[in-house]
Amino acid sequence: MAQAPPPKYSSDSEYDTAANCKLREELIKLKLREYERTGAKDSAERRRLQREILDEMRYLAAYHPDAATRTYWAEKTRTFDNAAAGGSEEEKAHVLMDVGRGLGMIIVAPFRLVGEVLQGVGTVVKGLGTFFSGGKFGQ
């Protein structure tokens, strides 16, 4: 299957910015948590949440300023549409959980990077301290 290029970015208003898209990604994450909590007990509520999540995914696929991110959301939207057309609730839930994991990684990555940089700086400082003290503190 040939990969279609991402849709062309067009900003029709001042609100179609990266910050707005970041807020919408957070909104999807919150709606996914709510979707998980509803379980199988309220199918009308689950359908409403599915529609809202899908609408947000379509918005990000159309208006996100980064082409790679637009492609990611377009693919996730297509996958979810295919699961919704002929799939079971389990398939739809699987697609939504995959989206949630991806959002989690996007959000956690900067914090992990900062942590690793701080760990590296700490190791360098410890090494310099050991070097300048002649190894007295390393024993």
Q: What confidence tens digit (pLDDT) does each residue in 3-27 have?
A: 777 666 655 554 557 778 888 888 8
Is residue 139's pLDDT more than 60? no
Per residue in 22-33, pLDDT tens?
888 888 888 888
Q: What pLDDT does 9 receive? A: 60
SS (H, E, C) the chain: CCCCCCCCCCCCCCCCCHHHHHHHHHHHHHHHHHHHHHCCCCHHHHHHHHHHHHHHHHHHHHHCCCHHHHHHHHHHHHHHHHHHHHCCHHHHHHHHHHHHHHHHHHHHHHHHHHHHHHHHHHHHHHHHHHHHHCCCCCC
pLDDT digits (tens, 9 = 90+) for 23-65: 888 888 888 888 778 766 667 887 888 888 888 888 888 887 7
Q: What is the pLDDT of residue 44?
A: 81
34 Cβ partners below 8 Å, 6+ apart? 49
Q: pLDDT tens-digit profile of 78-127?
A: 887 776 666 666 666 667 777 777 777 777 788 888 889 999 999 999 88
Q: For 92-106, write each residue's pLDDT tens digit.
A: 666 777 777 777 777
Q: What is the pTM of this model?
A: 0.52
